[in-house]
Amino acid sequence: MTENKLASFSAAIIGGGPAGLMAAEILSQAGVQVGLYDTMPSVGRKFLLAGKGGLNITHAEPFANFVTRYGNSQADIEPLLNDFNPQMLRAWVSELGITTFVGSSQRVFPLEMKAAPLLRAWLHRLRAAGVKIHTRHRWLGWDTKQALRFNHLETEKTVTADIVVLALGGGSWAKLGSDGRWLPLLTERNIAIAPLQAANCGFIVAWSDVFRERFAAEPLKSVTLSFTDVSGKLQQKNGELMLTESGVEGSLIYALSAPLRDTLNAQGSVTVYLDLTPDKDLARVTKELSRPRGSKSMSNHLRSKVGISGAKSGLLREFLSASEFADQPKLAAAIKSLPLELTSTRPIDEAISTAGGVCFSAMDAKLMLKNLPGVFCAGEMLDWEAPTGGYLLSAAFASGRAAGLGAVNWLQTEKVN
């Protein structure tokens, strides 16, 4: 039997979300002694929360389309996904005894629509492979001898390791552990970091009290949202959004949240236009509205002739004066292009994910920090963003795997003689 030279080396993985756990798996498979540290009393809390929405683990669209969802970060994320693509992720999930299926709109979910069975099976496998999990360990940076500093049960302790993988998550849902407090620990080591910003987030609209009371939590189904983004490009998408107490959220908003946020940052606010009847053009809406309505109210006329009722009708009432609502051409124009002013994003802590983080320029192709040899980064703490649809977890897993492989490679080339 040949001796595994990596068995005498140790790795500290900090952060027990999907990215950190994946890095731990790769390193332990290579024979490295792995300690995984997390500030929370248990690991994978955000992953479990994602499970509450069914755990959309990846997406089954063609790979060429899939990689475009990473927008400006496509060039950085695509190589990681080339090495761990959605099919490979599904195969990996299946090895854990979890069957996945392709749901509507090509999203991929575990059959049970939960994260807990997957996490349980995974942690069991990791522990069996020798990964030591240390919870309630908050990473505080490095001491003067480059040992890792942790706060554990109100006392400070230090840990040394041959290589380190940081997988500390983004800056939303702080109560689940991902609080972004790692940022200054890296900036003080001259690591370039783009500020964390809300992604896949809600936006604020100044509703009237009456509208808020009646329509908060109502979905707005089958609408087209369009706006001109900060670069002058027309952004347009069809889908469903949710009206909330403070504004709008939901899949249609999340899909456009990056250009919406960037435009809002540049301009102070952004006006979007809602087409409430994408299946009927302006001529058809105008024609239907002009049919005799007899003694019917305008609301009933709207419902029977154009199919507009409930929250859609409420929106028209909210933004049109009584005389505009009674004026058929003005009403038809508003149905096809109702302006809605978004004044800010909802707070970052509520966002499904965050943009910003460790810049790819601060790392080499294997995700090692150029300024800190032997320290790798992975997951949502890197500077990329993507819409919901399984793209977030796909890149978290793929980057965790890449960082783990990068660390193994570094140990082999730099430490094993």
Given the structure tokens 């980057």, which residue do they identify?
399
Stretch that binds ligand FAD, among 97-105, 133-141, 189-197, 319-327 (CB under 6 A): 133-141
Q: Does 66 bind ligand FAD (CB under 6 A)?
A: no
User: Between 320 and 403, whose beta carbon lies closer to ligand FAD?
Assistant: 403
Given the structure tokens 């498979």, which residue do they identify?
29
* Strand-by-strand arrangement of the 33-37 sheet: 132-134, 33-37, 10-14, 163-166, 375-377
Stretch that binds ligand FAD, among 13-21, 88-96, 232-240, 308-316 (CB under 6 A): 13-21
Residue type, 36: L
User: Between 139 and 227, whose beta carbon lies closer to ligand FAD?
Assistant: 139
User: Between 53 and 347, whose beta carbon lies closer to ligand FAD?
Assistant: 53
CA 185 – CA 141 distance, rounded (Å)? 6
CA 326 – CA 43 distance, rounded (Å)? 58
Strands 234-243 and 219-228: antiparallel
Compute the least distance from the CB of residue 38 to ligand FAD, in Å: 5
Angstrom distances, CA of residue 95 to CA of 28, 50, 88, 89, 266: 17, 21, 11, 10, 46
Q: Which of 380, 384, 406, 407 binds ligand FAD (CB under 6 A)?
A: 380
User: Between 31 and 171, whose beta carbon lies closer to ligand FAD?
Assistant: 171
Residue 262: which residues within 8 A CB-CB, separation 6 or more? 229, 230
Q: Which of 11, 12, 13, 18 binds ligand FAD (CB under 6 A)?
A: 18
Which x/- pattern over 32-61 shows residues binding ligand FAD (rule: CB under 6 A)?
A: -----xxxx--x-xxx-xx--x-xx-----
Which x/- pattern over 160-189 shows residues binding ligand FAD (rule: CB under 6 A)?
A: -------xxx---x---xx--xx-------
Q: Angle CA(126)–CA(129)–CA(134) in degrees, nearest 5?
A: 55
Residues of the shown chain interacting with ligand FAD in the complex, contacts defined by CB under 6 A:
14-20, 37-40, 43, 45-47, 49-50, 53, 55-56, 137-139, 167-169, 173, 177-178, 181-182, 352-353, 379-380, 390, 392-393, 396
